[in-house]
Amino acid sequence: MQNTKNNMEKSVKKEKLKKTVDGRTQDGESWLYSEEVRDHFFNPRNFMRHGEEETFKFNGMGRAGSPACGDEMVIWIQVDKKTEKIKDVRWRTFGCGSAIASTSVLSEMLIRDGGLKIDDALKIKPQDIIETLGGLPDRKVHCSVLGDKAFQAAANDYFRNTGQHNRIVVSGAKVIDKKLNITDKDIEEAVLEGVSNLEELQKKLKVEKINKDSIPEIEELIKFYNEKYYGN
């Protein structure tokens, strides 16, 4: 019964992606992108152009990822201190089309209807970005997560700049296997890169044996993150 439900949900997701353009990896493997992704890739909104850093008045800046290992996102926000609404946004992304589109659509979401209050903006989840884009391939879900993390870093920067240290959002890693130093963040990143079970996690983290006392919690986290990002 559960398998039938899962198959039906997958069919609905595919139906939503009927209007697509074809994108390809370097090795020739293809996947389907929505028209919204294509639009934001070719017509990015609120992009920080060369030299604009000198004139754009921002009071919060955040960065996520690294160009050395893949996508990197940088977001600058201009927050009205009286209303705490985000009045303007600029960004730069180094990465694939999904990364560019994710940051572009997030920037629109932040300043829509006169700008979101910063607390409301912090409630935006990767799933919201993906839904607004009309879907992303599973292997590109991490792009929306990077946008979410970059904005959270920008919001924290704003809180520091305005002396509101008590409002800083802390997302520290929890050590699950103390001997191998495997954290919940390691597991989350592994799931975002395609891991769906314990064996795949071991290969990804290059560990031969995980502490047996840690296995139940690790398996629970693998299941949790798969449900969170992929709904399965």
- Which active-site residues does the annotation give? 69, 143
Q: Which residues pair with 91 in a beta bridge?
A: 47, 75
The span from the CA of 87 to the CA of 85, in Å, is: 6
